């Protein structure tokens, strides 16, 4: 398994296990909150990370995930860059900077979570800070994943990506777009705002997480390497990012 593939796996498994374990521990302490949050919207991801010890687990797993995602986006840029589609370079930089900002926002958002935020009426600033940074993380990450799907569609021939690989990404990107739209539209239909918010958050987090692991198939031949391990045919013709040198 290559280093980028491991990263893709970590970016999905770590948050899934962290949130899952935090949710389970929270359910042990507050049995009334035990439910299927994707359907009932009985609790938010934030709520699973307020009380200890579940807060420790959410803190450790999600901050680490944010950093792995940051490296994932770097890998994605290098990989997309290897297609040598120069007109897309500006967009790729936008993609990488925006997505990395999203990852840093997740760190900020999770670092402040804990029982010290209770009672909420006395810690309004911390709650507002958490809500804004977490909301921006979801928004920026979703926009970047949707954009990446679009670029991959355009680059499917030079990058030799099969339709099946793209299809999974398109479905997950569509799911994220749907969750974001539902977030704004459903409360207008008279549904309880808090419940809709929670359901959308769980679905959006699931789609975002799952998206990272889809790179596992794309990155089978994309690896970390140094001169001693360069394939002979690459040595003479490629530059730092695996692009061929311009004549």
Partner 1 sequence: MSFGQQIALLCFLLSMGTIAVTYGVAIDQGTAEICNPFFDGCTDITHTGMKGDGGFIFRGGMIAACAFFVVWWQIMAVWLRQYTGALARGAMQLFGIVAAVGLLVGTAVLLPEKDAVRWGVHVRGANLFFQGMLLALTINYVLIWKARRRGLLVPSFGFKTLLMLCLWGLFIAFAGVTVGVEMSNGKRIIEWWATLFIGFYFISSWPDWRSVRLMAESGG
Residues forming contacts to partner 1 in the complex (CB under 8 A) are: 3-4, 6-7, 52, 56-57, 59-60, 63-64, 66-68, 71, 74-75, 78-79, 82-84, 107-108, 110-112, 114-116, 158-160, 221-231, 234, 238, 240-244
Run of H or E residues at 174: helix 163-185
Min dist. Cβ of residue 60 to partner 1 (A):
4
42 — phi, psi (to 5°)? Answer: -75, -20
Min dist. Cβ of residue 16 to partner 1 (A):
16
Min dist. Cβ of residue 120 to partner 1 (A):
17
Cis peptide before 169 (omega within 30 of 0): no
When the beta carbons of 12 and 179 are compared against partner 1, the nearer one is 12
Burial class (CB in 10 A: 0-12, 13-18, 19+), 128: exposed
Min dist. Cβ of residue 3 to partner 1 (A):
5
When the beta carbons of 49 and 175 are compared against partner 1, the nearer one is 49
Write the Ramachandran bin of 84: left for phi over 0, alpha for psi from -120 to 50, otherwise beta. Answer: left
When the beta carbons of 64 and 186 are compared against partner 1, the nearer one is 64
Residue 100, classed as helix, strand or coil, is helix
When the beta carbons of 164 and 226 are compared against partner 1, the nearer one is 226
238 — phi, psi (to 5°)? Answer: -120, 150
């Amino acid at each position: 398994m290559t280093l980028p593939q491991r990263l893709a796996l970590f970016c999905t498994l770590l948050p899934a296990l962290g949130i899952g374990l935090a949710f389970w521990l929270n359910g042990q302490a507050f049995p009334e909150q035990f439910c299927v949050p994707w359907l009932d919207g009985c609790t938010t991801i934030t709520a699973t990370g307020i009380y200890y010890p579940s807060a420790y687990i959410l803190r450790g797993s999600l901050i680490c995930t944010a950093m792995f995602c940051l490296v994932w986006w770097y890998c994605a840029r290098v990989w997309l860059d290897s297609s040598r589609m120069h007109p897309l370079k500006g967009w790729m930089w936008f993609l990488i900077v925006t997505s990395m900002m999203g990852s840093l926002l997740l760190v900020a958002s999770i670092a402040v979570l804990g029982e010290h935020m209770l009672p909420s009426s006395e810690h309004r600033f911390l709650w507002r800070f958490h809500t804004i940074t977490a909301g921006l993380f979801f928004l920026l990450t979703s926009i970047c994943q949707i954009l990446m799907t679009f670029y991959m569609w355009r680059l499917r021939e030079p990058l030799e990506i099969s339709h099946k690989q793209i299809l999974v990404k398109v479905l997950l990107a569509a799911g994220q777009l749907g969750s974001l739209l539902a977030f704004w539209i459903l409360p207008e239909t008279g549904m309880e705002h808090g419940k809709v918010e929670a359901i959308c958050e769980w679905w959006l987090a699931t789609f975002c997480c799952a998206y990272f692991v889809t790179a596992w198939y794309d990155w089978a031949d994309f690896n970390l390497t140094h001169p001693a391990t360069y394939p002979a045919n690459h040595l003479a013709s490629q530059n730092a990012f695996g692009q061929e040198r311009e004549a």
